[in-house]
Amino acid sequence: MAIKQLIKSTSGWLYLNSPVGRQQLQGAGVILMLHRVLSNDRAADLPHRNELCVGPKAFEHLLVWLRKHFDCVPLMEILQPNALRSERPRVALTFDDGWRDNAVNAFALLQKHQVPASIFLSTDFIGSRQRFWWESLGETLWGSHGDKARMHLIECLHARKHPLPVLLDDIDVERRSLALLHYLQGLKSLAPQELEELTDECPKDSLPQALDWHQVRAMEASGLVRFGPHGASHAILTGLDDARLSEEIRRSRDALNNGCNRPLPVYCYPNGDNDDRVRQQVADHDYPFALGTGTGIYRGDGDPLNLPRFGVSQRTARHPQLLSWRIYRGARP
Ligand SMILES: [Zn+2]
């Protein structure tokens, strides 16, 4: 661990274990944001996966650490706490998008450690073979689907005037992965239609990327996991006109109502993007709460339609003390 990280993790540890830290966090809620849990940690270590993916060993390490320092509670217990509160700070886990690996890799570990979680589904993807563009484009460019597929996609990107940076051919794996991360971030601004067309140029995986409704219901039946909407098509809500915005929220709400027994009254903005207009529409569709991606801890004040969360990467899951450092930063007045 680099010296700077060591200082952060030590300060974070001290904070969680000091009277000041414990007092500041008393009654406060910490909401964590995750996306994927891969089947191996080495794959999750690379920079272009690190932000959205954790490996099973790191994830289990995080769960054990959380149970040691926090009360791990369902999200609604942070948003609508009952009168009985323990001294310890509370933490709730959330997962965005609805990746299949949430059922395949994460669920068994959540059960083993009895940690509740909420999963927010981009409902068009659930039970379909529709693919998330950043996963398909990213892994095809990384070469996970072979050289032929990679070259084909590169040609398509060239033809559409999105040439790849030279660094994407760097001999160093870390640098190559970092270059890919930056390149994918740059593609976020393309029109959804174009991203979909590019995704169609990628080879199809043998398994769907997203959960299906059977998996959703099986996890819900355990009593440990609840579900809420994360858009229908994962379109960035602030970019939609009023009619499309309303349609997107309604479609995702209806899908949840059909597919789950007890969907959460919490919306989760794709990419975290929201503004006054989006928040109003979400409220008009009967959601009293919504999750953004701004960091901070929740004390019952602040805008319930733009709740803060702390993102968890493979790095922070491996070194959860880094998370306590960020909580400390978020907790400071
Ligand atoms: Zn998302």
CA 195 to ligand 1 centroid distance, Å:
15
CA 55 to ligand 1 centroid distance, Å:
18
CA 270 to ligand 1 centroid distance, Å:
5
pTM for the predicted model, two decimal places: 0.92
Which of 150, 133, 124 is CA-nearest to residue 192? Answer: 133
Whether 85 shows a pLDDT value over 70: the answer reads no
Burial level of 239, CB count in 10 A (0-12/13-18/19+)?
middle
The pLDDT value given to residue 302: 87
Summarised one tens digit per residue, pLDDT across range 168-201 is 788 889 899 999 999 999 998 888 899 999 999 9
CA 153 to ligand 1 centroid distance, Å:
23
CA 97 to ligand 1 centroid distance, Å:
5
Which of 108, 132, 59 is CA-nearest to residue 323? Answer: 59
The pLDDT value given to residue 7: 76
Contact 91, 32 (CB under 8 A): yes
CA 310 to ligand 1 centroid distance, Å:
14
Whether 333 shows a pLDDT value over 60: the answer reads no
CA 278 to ligand 1 centroid distance, Å:
16
- Mean pLDDT taken over the chain: 91
CA 212 to ligand 1 centroid distance, Å:
17
CA 230 to ligand 1 centroid distance, Å:
7
Q: Which two tokens stand for residue 46?
A: 């690379």
What are residue 113's phi and psi, to 5 degrees? Answer: -100, 5
DSSP state string for 246-301 = HHHHHHHHHHHHHH-SS--SEEE-GGG---HHHHHHHHHTT-SEEE-S----B-S-
Q: Which amino acid is at 215?
A: Q
The pLDDT value given to residue 82: 73
272: left (phi over 0), alpha (psi -120 to 50) or beta: left
CA 62 to ligand 1 centroid distance, Å:
21
How much is the average pLDDT of 2-18? 74
Contact 110, 225 (CB under 8 A): yes
CA 96 to ligand 1 centroid distance, Å:
5
CA–CA distance, 73 with 115 (Å, rounded to integer): 7
Residue 196, helix vs strand vs coil: helix
Q: Which residue has the higher pLDDT, 55 or 47?
A: 55
Q: Which residue has the higher pLDDT, 324 or 332?
A: 324
Summarised one tens digit per residue, pLDDT across range 203-256 is 988 788 999 999 999 999 999 999 999 999 999 999 999 999 999 999 999 999
How much is the average pLDDT of 106-131? 97
Summarised one tens digit per residue, pLDDT across range 271-302 is 999 999 999 999 999 999 999 999 988 888 88
Q: Which two tokens stand for residue 49?
A: 């996966």
**pLDDT-derived band at 304, boundaries 50, 70, 90:** very high
The pLDDT value given to residue 56: 97
The pLDDT value given to residue 262: 96
The pLDDT value given to residue 15: 73
CA 271 to ligand 1 centroid distance, Å:
5
Summarised one tens digit per residue, pLDDT across range 137-160 is 999 999 999 999 999 999 999 999
CA 240 to ligand 1 centroid distance, Å:
16
The pLDDT value given to residue 84: 65
Burial level of 5, CB count in 10 A (0-12/13-18/19+)?
middle
Whether 102 shows a pLDDT value over 80: the answer reads yes
Domain ranges (residues) in the chain: 1-11+27-77+302-333, 133-200
